Chains A and B, each alone.
Chain A
Amino acid sequence: MFYREAGDFKTTYKDDNQTFPIKFDRYRYYFVLFVAFALIPFMLNDYWVNAIFMPFLIYSIAAIGLNILVGYCGQVSLGTGGFMAVGAYACYKFMTGIDIWLGGVQYALPPINIFFSVILAGLVTAIVGALFGLPSLRIKGFYLAVATLAAQFFLVWLFNKWEWAYNFSASGQINAPERGIFGVNVTGPNVDAWAKYLFCLVILTICAVVARNLTRGSVGRKWMAIRDMDIAAEIIGVNPLKAKLSAFAVSSFFIGISGALFFSVYLGAVEVGEAFGINKSFLVLFMVIIGGLGSIFGSFAGAAFLVLLPVLLKNVLVGGLGWPTDLAAHLEFLIVGALIIAFLIAEPHGLAQLWRVAKEKLRLWPFPH
């Protein structure tokens, strides 16, 4: 009864194209933004930030990125962890300064502001992602998945071996130095919870808006055309090479940004195999599947779900019922596994679709006809 579009007439195509064409949705969106930007920063403590908000914000960016590739363009990828590693190491290099030798002469690029380091890390990852996307022109589905899996292992191996990438540190780890923006630290040991949170939130918001803009216009339609039927896409003039590579590049851009934040703001110190192993690739893929393929909102939902689930299980089972930790962890695997199968079989569009169906019902409520 409250929720309907009747009476909310669109008189221009521009209005009809809005992200939230229904007024109620639009107000809810403003409300969420208000809470996220103006209320939550004042209510945070370290536990909440580190256990929930950091992983949620950062994985949301990764899930948006992977969703563009898998959900919108229909190309499978198991290389997410590797691409996050590219973002992390690129960010590390940008924030610590880069030495390059060209023809025996050393050029030193000074350290770059952390915000721009993160964005540049995304751009570097976009290029790497597009390169690893090249096989998608020839191979599809399962074989492409295997090719991206190879990328995953190759990239982790590379960052283990390539000393220049971790500034020749003895441990082989990378450590985020203290960096800030407008005089407020966002990386390093002395960071306020709200500062980390706001920094990631701003970047996530930018990413989500950009992703939404790209998917609603002609680029997005090219991706979806390739996803739904590549032959028909070609017949309407879509160059498959450009469409697929742009999807790989844009997807990797977001994933690289999330990797950069994961390293610099969230963990602070990273060992590549541990932080960006194959598990990460699967985790983000599961977020996309559970949240909903081909939906920006679904990327948020999937990330929230898989970040909250372990925290919830831990608090209820271990904290509340006194279960051993490993048993709770196993139960988590079981639940996630069962959910993946359930969603793949019953609802490939994930939580986002359940939400859409609920809205459709609500729109008719209480008169179902």
Chain B
Amino acid sequence: MSNEGYVTADGRKIGGTVMEMKNITLRFGGVKAITDISFDIKQGEIRAIIGPNGAGKSSMLNVISGFYVPQEGEVWYKGSRRPQMRPYEVAQQGIARTFQNIALFEGMTVLDNVMTGRLNHMKTGLFSQAIWKGKAEQEEVANREVVEKVIDFLEIQAIRKTPVSRLPYGLKKRVELARALAAEPSILLLDEPMAGMNVEEKEDMSRFILDVNDEFGTTICLIEHDMGVVMDLSDRVVVMDYGKKIGDGSPDEVRNNQAVIDAYLGVSHD
């Protein structure tokens, strides 16, 4: 696998490798969730991971974000091998994510939820915060400005002060994306950002994902079930089945790959 970038079908320039998974194997007791998988994510691309239910996609994202520690294999990030890390350390390295089942802070407002995305950028100590006037307040306002941009971008201005627990599912997903974006991550991991949405919501979400990538140049790695969506959005696709990688390439290559066709036809759902 080369470290070079490439130019996408729609003419965007993709950079070198930012993250590389090398021979990852993850077991839960006897169950092999991931078997010897390698793939890379390049700077500025939209990388998709697809596969049938239980293929190990979420597990892969959990390995990247430090929730699961693989028994074998290495994670390389920005040119060096990453030592074992706790999830919060991974986050502090600039990797943000959303969850398949929404993981928002239900007791807080939308604004506070999105503000939590800025925590890595907020450094004033306990003492300054106790005083508030001065450093802490300036920092709060500066970060609020970033957050308001994200809120505008995702068009959730109207629900800013609403407690998250009162929101419908589709909006919650959007707020979760907002929280991840607020962190200004170098890699954004999205676990089924469109699951359970209706067609309109899916279209909105697709647009947001493309815009994020386009406007901020954020590298995105997303899991998605809906083949159509994946083909539209992504630059390169990894296909997993039963914990193994069965395909890797551009959407067109993957679509014509016999193993992939078999896996999708062989599985009755969707």
Q: Answer yes or no: do A and B interact.
A: yes
A interface residue numbers (CB < 8 A to B): 12-14, 17, 210, 213-214, 216-219, 221-222, 224-225, 227-229, 231-240, 246, 250, 294
Question: Contact partner of A14 among B92, B108, B117, B137, CB < 8 A?
Answer: B137
Residues of A near B103 (CB, < 8 A) are: 229, 231-232, 235
Closest B residue to A12 by beta carbon equals B141
Main secondary structure of the interface of A (DSSP, over half): helix
B interface residue numbers (CB < 8 A to A): 65, 67, 86-88, 91-92, 96-97, 99, 103-108, 112, 115-120, 122, 124, 126, 129-132, 136-137, 139-141, 144-145, 148, 179, 183
Q: A14-B141, A224-B112, A234-B91 given as contacts; is B107 within 8 A of A217 (CB)?
A: no
Closest B residue to A211 by beta carbon equals B130
Is B91 a contact partner of A221 (Cβ separation < 8 A)?
no
Is A210 a contact partner of B130 (Cβ separation < 8 A)?
yes
Is A235 a contact partner of B97 (Cβ separation < 8 A)?
yes
Q: A17-B144, A237-B120 given as contacts; is B105 within 8 A of A218 (CB)?
A: no
Is A236 a contact partner of B91 (Cβ separation < 8 A)?
yes
User: Across the A-B interface, how many residue pairs have beta carbons closer than 8 Å?
Assistant: 110
Is A228 a contact partner of B107 (Cβ separation < 8 A)?
yes
Residues of A near B112 (CB, < 8 A) are: 221, 224
Interchain CA distance A209-B92 in the complex, whole Å? 30
Interchain CA distance A229-B101 in the complex, whole Å? 13
Interchain CA distance A294-B131 in the complex, whole Å? 20
Interchain CA distance A250-B107 in the complex, whole Å? 21
Is A217 a contact partner of B87 (Cβ separation < 8 A)?
no
Interchain CA distance A224-B156 in the complex, whole Å? 22
25 contacts between A and B (CB under 8 A): A13-B145, A213-B129, A213-B136, A216-B132, A217-B140, A218-B119, A218-B124, A221-B112, A221-B119, A222-B119, A224-B107, A228-B104, A228-B108, A229-B103, A229-B106, A231-B87, A232-B103, A232-B105, A233-B105, A235-B67, A235-B97, A236-B88, A236-B179, A237-B119, A246-B126
Closest A residue to B124 by beta carbon equals A218
Residues of B near A238 (CB, < 8 A) are: 88, 116, 119
Q: A13-B145, A219-B126, A246-B126 given as contacts; is B132 within 8 A of A239 (CB)?
A: no
Closest B residue to A222 by beta carbon equals B119
Q: Which of A13, A14, A246, A294 has the most CB of B within 10 A?
A: A13
